[in-house]
Every structure is written in structure tokens, then in C-alpha cells.
Structure 1
């Protein structure tokens, strides 16, 4: 473990160290990647610890039960592992592969203004994407109201080809086929 000198400004959270595993410094790690083992494709990690940012490299990892455990360089006992519990794992966004055509990273969608059209084809501001989550059928956008939105409602809008009409990352907008009264 070494203190991070240049923590990337374009960082993106890809996981979290959850709890110590065993006595030799291993930790349970939660992954935001799909599949979850892709977490180990992006190294080094920038870990936000209680004592500041640390750059960490993975020594070994393995699937265990329904999760993953990891051994980090410089973390050799349970006490050191306990000190990292709850720490978030970040990487530079530049480490990620470029999204394909009509594919988006959730982090790129968070904060976009969600617009629908009324009967006169006028923009209706539904709010901004606060977060996304998976369901069995499709992903869902959680849209929070803003001072500029049509009302103060929180909306759950499915990420589906019949709903999502157009994404304009440069303009910070996403157009959806979604009524105000849904």
C-alpha cells in the first residue's frame, strides 16, 4: 500500500471492500462490474481509506460462495484487512473499455436530464437520473425531480427500447417515451 499521489479526477467506483476473510489479510470485495470478476481487470485500484487515498494492487483473488475474496499487496493480516472494511474501490474511467454503439456506462447516465414530449411535441422535464438498478426484466432509471421539472414526483422509468428514445451525452439529456401521469 502506498499513498496515492495523483488520484484520478475522472474516477469511477467499481466496488467496495466489505469485511475481513480469514487471518491472512484477505477481504470480501463487492463488485459493481458485470460480470463481477471484471473488477480485477482494472488495476491499480484507488482505495478511499480512513487515512486517505491508497493505491493498491491485487496479489490474488478467487470466487468464494456467491462472492469474491481478494488478497491485496501490503495487506498481510486480519488487523490490516479490518482497517480497510467499508473502503470504496475506484479506478480511472480511462481504464474502462469504450462503450459500444448504443451502450452506456451507468455513471455516464447519472445526472442526465430526462425529457419526454407532450401532445404538442414540446419538451417536458421529468427530472434527472439519480441512479440506475437492475431488475430481472430490465434496468430501471430512478429519476428525481428538480426545480425545473414538471412536478415533484420521483419516477422509476424502465430502460427499454420502447421507452428510451435518444441519449445525448454531450447535451446532458435523455429523451424517453414516458407520460407525466405514469
Structure 2
């Protein structure tokens, strides 16, 4: 484990170390990848710990129950594993496959300004995407108000083909078919 400073901006969080597993330094892994085992396709990991950033290598991993457990190089006992609980797993974004047409990484959507149109086809600023989360039916954008938005409401807008009209990553905007009063 080597402490690393000045993490490059081109990194993306792909998981988290959740809790110690057993006595030999293994940890439960929460994965943001689909399928979840793909978290091990992107190595080494840059891990954000309480003490700072560390580059970590995976020694072994295995599925266990409905989750995943991992043994990391340099983590050999329960005490060392406990020290990593809650640490975030990051990788260089260049390691990830390019998103397909009309596909986006959530990290690219966070911070986009969400715009709708009024009856006169004028832009209505609904706020900025704060986070996204999965539901059974579709993903949901959590939109927080900004000083420029139409009001101070937080909105939960479904990521659905009938709602999301256009995404412009370069301009930092996403157009939605969503009323102010929804």
C-alpha cells in the first residue's frame, strides 16, 4: 500500500469496502459495476481511506452469498481490514469502456443543469443533477435547486425515454419533458 497524493480528476468511484469478513484481512466489497464482479476488471484500485489515498492491489476475490469479498495485498488481519471499512474504490476512467450511443456514466451526468421548456418553448431551469439512484422500474435523477433555477424545490425526475429529451455533456445540460408543478 503506497499513499498517493493529488488524485487526478479523471478517476471515477466504482465501489466501496463495506466491512471486514473473517479474521484474515478479507473485506466485503460493494460494487457500482454491472455485473458487480466487473469491479475486479479495473485494477489497481485507488482507495480513498481516512488517512488519504492509497494504491491497492487485489490478491484474491470470490463471490460470497449475494455479494463479493476481497483479499488485498498488505491487508492480512481483521484489524487492518477494519481500518479500511468505508473506504471508497476509485479507478482511472480511461480503464472503463466507452459509453455507447445514448448511454452515460452517472458521474458524467452529475452537475448537469436540468432544463425543461414552457409553452413558448423557453428554457426553464429546474436545477442541477445532484445524484442518481436505481429503482425497480428506472433510474431517478435527484435535482437540487440552484440560484438560477425557477424555484427552490428538489425534484426526483425519472430517467425514462419519454422524459429525457436530450443530453449535451459539452454544454453541461440535459433537456427533460418535465413540468415545474410535477
Taking structure 1 as the reference length, the TM-score comes to 0.96
Q: Which runs of 4+ in 1 moved over 3 A?
A: none
Secondary structure, counterpart of 2:40 in structure 1:
helix
In structure 2, how many angstroms separate the alpha carbons of the residues matched to 1:171 and 1:51? 36
RMSD: 1.1
Structure 2 equivalent of residue 20 of structure 1: 20
Q: Do the aligned residues in 2 keep the contact of 1:8 with 1:91 (CA within 8 Å)?
A: no
Structure 2 equivalent of residue 85 of structure 1: 85
> Structure 1 stretches of 5 or more lacking a match?
none
1:60-91 CA-to-partner distances (Å, cap 9, x unmatched) read 11111111100001111111111111111111
1:10 aligns with 2:10: yes
Structure 1 equivalent of residue 160 of structure 2: 160
> Structure 2 stretches of 5 or more lacking a match?
none
1:26-64 CA-to-partner distances (Å, cap 9, x unmatched) read 001111112111111111100112222110011111111
In structure 2, how many angstroms separate the alpha carbons of the residues matched to 1:37 and 1:94? 19
Structure 2 equivalent of residue 133 of structure 1: 133
Matches within 5 A, 1:23-34: 23-34=23-34
In structure 2, how many angstroms separate the alpha carbons of the residues matched to 1:107 and 1:90? 12
Q: Is 146-155 or 49-58 further displaced after alignment?
A: 49-58
How many residues are aligned here? 182
Q: Do the aligned residues in 2 keep the contact of 1:17 with 1:28 (CA within 8 Å)?
A: yes
In structure 2, how many angstroms separate the alpha carbons of the residues matched to 1:174 and 1:50? 35
Q: Do the aligned residues in 1 keep the contact of 2:49 with 2:87 (CA within 8 Å)?
A: yes
Question: Deviation at 1:8?
Answer: 2.6
Matches within 5 A, 1:1-182: 1-4=1-4, 7-182=7-182
Q: Do the aligned residues in 2 keep the contact of 1:164 with 1:177 (CA within 8 Å)?
A: yes
In structure 1, how many angstroms separate the alpha carbons of the residues matched to 2:73 and 2:23? 15
In structure 2, how many angstroms separate the alpha carbons of the residues matched to 1:83 and 1:116? 46
Q: Is 170-179 or 89-98 further displaced after alignment?
A: 89-98
